[in-house]
Amino acid sequence: MSGSNGAVDTPMFEIENLHAEIDGNEILKGVNLVVNEGEIHALMGPNGSGKSTLAYVIAGDPRYEVTEGSIRFRGEDILEWTPDERARKGLFLAFQYPTVIPGVSMANFLRMAVTNVRNARAEEAANGGEAQKMTPREFRRLMREKMALLKMDDAFATRYLNEGFSGGEKKRAEILQMALLEPKMAVLDETDSGLDIDALKVVSEGVNNLSGPDVGMLLITHYQRLLNFIKPDFVHIMMEGRIVESGGPELAHELEAKGYEGLRARFAESSAS
């Protein structure tokens, strides 16, 4: 980045020299990453490298302490914002809401979660004036529209949240929530366990449907296979709390061929010098 014409140069989402710890253990050791509108970034790396930690820190999980560095969204420091504010301003984290709420239907849960955020956004946009709040009827219309876009069955909305949900259905719920919130920057942590082919397809179809020229995405995944369905513009490899290599989709293919060990050897060489 160069020049003093900041407005032109300001990235949409920028992580700079981020250090974070949990229970006094430093996990993130200087992460740098820029995501702009319309870009899909994949963050890969071996288990325990700090990928999920990064997602939690972006979400504002209070268990993690940021000791150095910054995360900026459109030039503003998001570390000053509560998790709610982050959602309101257009960040989406797949796991920012509780995952098990007995006796609450999918539709009711989404109505509460989504109308809160959207109403707060409307109030902000109205700048203290009369904000147009979303009515239950408008919400139902919006939900039908998004479910059609994502080719989801209407019956899904009446299911109880996470009660007997398969891996694929949990992912479907997350993707629907994301569609309803219309984020500008989405972070999806593809947990490494229990991802069947159904869940993989839900995530990839959702991401492909919801990505667009205004939206930035960060897909966190341990496995290369998700990238058989989604073509990222950039691939980053995280090891030991840092991004050690960035490139295009070819980096993911190299990873598939050589595994993390091949990259680890290269990383060890470069960090020893």
Site residues (CB under 6 A) for ligand ADP?
Answer: 22-23, 25, 27, 45, 47-53
- Structure-block tokens of residue 250: 């070819």
Least distance (Å) from ligand ADP to the CB of residue 238?
A: 7
Residue 52 binds Mg ion (CB under 5 A):
yes
Q: Residue 32 or 108: which CB sits closer to ligand ADP? A: 32
Torsions phi, psi of 28, nearest 5? -95, 130
Rounded distance, CA 46 to CA 23, Å?
Answer: 22
**Per-residue interface string for the shown chain with Mg ion, residues 53-92, x marking contact by CB under 5 A:** ----------------------------------------
Q: Which does 247 bind (CB under 5 to 8 A by kind): ligand ADP, Mg ion, none?
A: none
User: Interior CA angle at 194 toward 191 and 198, to 5°?
Assistant: 100
- Structure-block tokens of residue 205: 């179809």
User: Interior CA angle at 195 toward 194 and 196, to 5°?
Assistant: 105
Residue found under tokens 């990222």: 232
Q: Residue 44 or 186: which CB sits closer to ligand ADP? A: 44
Least distance (Å) from ligand ADP to the CB of residue 227?
A: 16
Least distance (Å) from ligand ADP to the CB of residue 209?
A: 26
Least distance (Å) from ligand ADP to the CB of residue 183?
A: 21
Q: Residue 52 or 96: which CB sits closer to Mg ion? A: 52
Residue 49 binds Mg ion (CB under 5 A):
no
Least distance (Å) from Mg ion to the CB of residue 52?
A: 3
Q: Which does 48 bind (CB under 5 to 8 A by kind): Mg ion, ligand ADP, none?
A: ligand ADP
Q: Residue 51 or 146: which CB sits closer to ligand ADP? A: 51
Q: Which residue is nearest to Mg ion (CB)?
A: 52
Least distance (Å) from Mg ion to the CB of residue 11?
A: 25
Q: Residue 202 or 238: which CB sits closer to ligand ADP? A: 238
Q: Residue 157 or 187: which CB sits closer to Mg ion? A: 187
Binding site for Mg ion (CB under 5 A): 51-52
